[in-house]
Amino acid sequence: MDDSVLVQVQNLKMYFQTEGSFSFSKKYIKAVDDVSFNLFKGETFGLVGESGCGKSTLGRTVLGLYKPNAGKVIFEGENIFSLKNKRMKEMRKKMQLIFQDPSASLNPRKTIADILNEPFHIHQVGTMTERKGKIKDLMDRVGLSEYHLSRYPHEMSGGQKQRVGIARALALNPKLIICDEPVSALDVSIQAQVINLLEDLQKEYDLTYLFISHNLSVVHHICNRVGVMYLGKLVETGNHEDIYRNTLHPYAKALISAIPHTDPDNPKDRILLRGDVPSPANPPSGCRFHTRCPERTDLCSHAEPQLKEVFPGHFAACHLC
Amino acid sequence: MSDDLLDKDLLRISNLNVQFRTSEGVFKAVRDVSISIRSGETLGIVGESGSGKSVTALSIMNLIPNPPGEIKGDIFFNGQNLREMSPEEVRKVRGNEISMIFQEPMTSLNPIHTCGKQIMEPLLLHKGFTKHEAKARSLELLKMVGIPLPEQRFKEYPHQLSGGMRQRIMIAMALACRPKLLLADEPTTALDVTIQAQILELMKNLRNEIDSAIIMITHDLGIITEMCHSVAVMYAGQVVESGPLKELIREPLHPYTEGLLRSIPTITKEKQRLYTIDGTVPSPFNMPPGCSFQPRCKYSNPICSEQTPDLIHVSEERAVRCWRHAENIGIGNRSVLHG
């Protein structure tokens, strides 16, 4: 395997059963349907798409929080789904998650010190004094003071709580951090602080981020490579310059043109999509985007396009590319 | 203010103060806000959570519960003071001449009534339509906001529709009586970007069609840039800067506006470290002395923590609440709006 690859995701499928207990009546929501991509060491890979497109499910499946219906996640050469429990627990130290809602992801009955002690306690790392020192370091690193250690989550602001979430994710020196909408619950002036912090930490600890967001401007800022998802499928991946400047897939084009711009002198042309995102329980035939696509052809409604390399390192799943 | 000016403005809020009495103390949500808007104009109110923008909108609609809320100040709509009207009179204006689009289409529609019934309600109440007329007009509205199969949607309940559809229903309801003033409180925050683009386009078209004034409340400067003619920036319950959109974006005067504009990542900006405003919004129970932005401000002077600056007019249309500009203009010839 190539040394620069940290995680290989291969043909991952994650279906959720919705109704029916007999095999003939079972129905599935195909949240992630045959997704493959690589995460390179030290990069930030952005995953964008509208709500319900499966980006969070994909992130959680990569962490092994769900057992997928098919496919592999190869982390440093080992498929995490074939690991025994004890080995998997070891592996979990190397991959962590930062959640969207900092208020909901911190236990309201524990102090910040207890919350940050938990990773060490679960994995039986260090003595009490070592842990205390490490927790102080972490607090310092994410820009919080020691005074906050005895506080409860409700006594802190949203930005501070998200910093605690980040400190907790960093506790066991992970290699991969899945950031699931880490700034979307924060105010604009706090967003920039947290984004800068994430960038600093990445440099300092040589972290790899899988950055899930619906905010394309934030993804543009922080990511090296971007993957665009639509109804459980990756429709386009590539370097961030390729995705934003040389967009191939009609959905990605519409998504990027829909970002409100902040330059009043240059109003831009907008590709307006008609209709809503179809239900993932009953995705359209052929290309899943054909019902809303402004450029569709007859072929699109019955043949499903495969992700293919259109330019070096720039993949798209569209018949027109 | 002269009567002349009052007549030109569709809505003029002057010295609005809203405070809530809570067990933790008095919480001043809105402090000394004065804004005005003319017909056909779109005013954007931008600010972070807790800056008082939604409370301002709710006070216009007279929807602040009292107690715990206490409102002071005047709200002139079409020359009449809404604050001096009886509840019955206000009810005639609300939903008729002034209507509001709420942030969450999921929670602001009544789940036990069909969409059609909810759109018909203001028509039956305010316009004296018969049921038959109201239904015909509702179907027309549904078509206007771009809902496919309006006859079928008319009979459906909110839970059967997607978020974008529900927001369209909200817009149809708000537009039913052809309001002169439309308050849109974060109308697209709960929606996806492609649906947001659809809704914004729809609101722009409707504005041209009905020629109503819109107050757009949002934390997203992108939406403001796209939709509005003029902007008021709110911070900690006060308007800190206001003016025409282009001038304000190109040359922000208040340090908070400047910071806000510089800290947003955009897809046109070069990849570089984001500018940050240090610190956090002060707690409403523990406001800093003087200017509320002073603890986070990089230009802060001794005077900033001693005296609260007034909102001063630096030109005909632009106003800013900052000591830096008060000094530039000179105390002698500044025109104080209020203080």
- Give the CATH number, domain containing residue B57: 3.40.50.300
pLDDT at site B39: 87
Whether B44 and B7 map to the same domain: the answer is yes
B249 within a domain of the structure (yes/no): no
**Cα distance between residue A168 and residue B245, in whole Å:** 42
The range of the structural domain enclosing residue B324 comes to 256-339
Predicted pLDDT at B319: 93
First to last CA, chain A: 29
Q: Tell me, what's the ipTM?
A: 0.80
Q: Is the peptide bond before A284 cis (omega within 30 degrees of 0)?
A: no
Instruction: Please give the pLDDT value at position B334.
Output: 42
User: Token pair for residue B57?
Assistant: 């909108």
Please tell me the total count of domains within chain A. Answer: 1
Same-domain pairing of B230 and B299: no
Residue B79 belongs to some domain of the structure: yes
User: Exposed/middle/buried for B91, CB within 10 Å: 0-12, 13-18, 19+?
Assistant: middle
| B325 or B106, which is more confident | B325
pLDDT at residue A215 in the model: 87
In a domain, A281, yes or no: yes
Distance from CA of B313 to the nearest CA of A (A): 23
* pLDDT band at residue B332 using 50, 70 and 90 as cut-offs: very low
Residue of A nearest to B192 (CA): A50
- The answer to whether residue B158 scores a pLDDT higher than 60 is yes
The DSSP output letter for B287 is P
Clarify whether residues B179 and B305 are in a common domain.
no
Express each pLDDT in B96-115 by its tens digit: 899 999 887 778 899 999 99
| Residue B305 belongs to a domain | yes
pLDDT tens string B32-52: 999 999 988 999 999 888 888
Partners of residue B250 in chain A, C-beta under 8 Å:
264
Domain match, B110 and B228 both: yes
- Same domain membership, residue B263 and residue B231: no
Domain identity same for B112 and B63: yes
User: Which of A50, A214, A217 is opposite residue B266, by nearest beta carbon?
Assistant: A217
**pLDDT value of residue B7:** 56
CA distances from A83 to A77, A78, A86, A178 (A): 12, 8, 8, 20
Q: Sorting pLDDT into bands at 50, 70 and 90, what band is B1?
A: very low
Give the model's pLDDT for residue A184. Answer: 85
Name chain A contacts of B275, Cβ cutoff 8 Å: 192
Say whether both B203 and B300 belong to one domain: no
Is B302's pLDDT higher than 70? Answer: yes
The verdict on residue A12 lying in a domain is yes
> Total domain count for chain B?
2
With respect to residue A157, please indicate whether it lies within any of the assigned structural domains. no
Record the tokens describing residue A268, joined without a space: 């831009």
- In order along its 321 residues, chain A shows pLDDT tens digits of 467 899 999 999 999 887 767 777 778 888 999 999 999 999 999 999 888 888 999 999 999 999 999 999 999 999 999 999 999 999 999 999 999 888 889 999 999 999 999 999 999 998 999 999 999 999 999 999 888 999 999 988 888 999 999 999 999 999 999 999 999 888 888 889 999 999 999 999 999 999 999 888 899 999 999 999 999 999 999 998 899 999 999 999 999 888 887 777 766 678 888 877 788 888 898 999 999 999 889 999 989 999 999 999 999 999 988
CB A260 to CB B250 under 8 A? no
- Minimal C-alpha gap between A72 and chain B (Å): 30
Report yes or no on A145 lying in a domain.
no
- What distance in Å separates residue B183's CA from the closest CA in chain A? 20
CATH of the domain at A27: 3.40.50.300
- Give B275 to chain A, closest Cα distance, Å: 7
* Interchain CB distance below 8 Å, B192 and A214: yes
Tally C-beta pairs within 8 A across A and B: 120
| B121 and B69 together in one domain | yes
CA gap B126, B173 in Å, rounded: 13
Is the CB of B220 less than 8 angstroms away from the CB of A218? no
pLDDT for residue B287 is more than 60: yes
Give me the residue from B162, B196, B220 closest to A258, CB to CB: B196
Residue A149 lies in a domain: no
Indicate yes or no: CB of A258 within 8 angstroms of CB of B165. Answer: no
Residue B331, pLDDT score: 47
Residue B339, pLDDT > 90, answer: no
User: Which has the closest alpha carbon to B237: B48, B24, B11?
Assistant: B48
Separation between Cα atoms, residue B326 and residue B314, nearest integer Å: 8
Q: What is the pLDDT of residue B336?
A: 43
**pLDDT (0 to 100) of residue B199:** 85
pLDDT of residue B75 exceeding 80, the answer is yes
CA distance A33 to chain B (A): 21
Confidence of residue B329 (pLDDT cuts 50, 70, 90): low
Asked if pLDDT for residue B242 goes beyond 90, the answer is: yes
Residue type, B156: E
Strand order in the sheet with B181-185: B98-101, B181-185, B213-218, B42-46, B230-235, B238-244, B319-320, B312-313
Q: Is residue A50 part of a domain?
A: yes
Q: Using CA atoms, how far apart are residues A253 and A246, in angstroms rounded to an integer?
A: 9
pLDDT score, position B337: 42
Tell me the mean pLDDT in the region B215-224.
90
What mean pLDDT do residues B289-313 have? 90
In a domain, B125, yes or no: yes
Is the model more confident about B44 or about B193? B44
Hey, which residues does A211 pair with through a beta bridge? Answer: A46, A179
For residue B14, is pLDDT > 70? Answer: yes
Task: Kindly state whether residue B241 falls inside one of the protein's structural domains.
Answer: no
Give the domain range for residue A47: 5-94+174-316
The pairing of strands B25-37 and B11-22 is antiparallel
Residue B326 amino acid letter? A
Contacts of B88 (CB under 8 A, 6+ apart): none
- B26 and B149 assigned to the same domain: yes
Q: Say if residue B232 is in the same domain as residue B261.
A: no
pLDDT tens, position by position, A158-204: 889 999 999 999 999 999 999 999 998 888 888 899 999 999 999 99
The pLDDT, as a whole number, for residue A279 is: 80
Contact A277 B273 (CB under 8 A): no
Question: Does residue B242 sit within a domain?
Answer: no
Shared domain for B225 and B292, answered yes or no, is: no
Q: What is the pLDDT of residue B220?
A: 87
Q: Report d(CA A229, CA A226) in Å as an integer.
A: 10
The answer to whether A189 contacts B267, with C-beta atoms less than 8 Å apart, is: no
User: Do the chains contact at A160 and B273, CB–CB below 8 Å?
Assistant: no
Mean pLDDT along residues B280-303: 87
Would you state the pLDDT for residue B146? Answer: 81
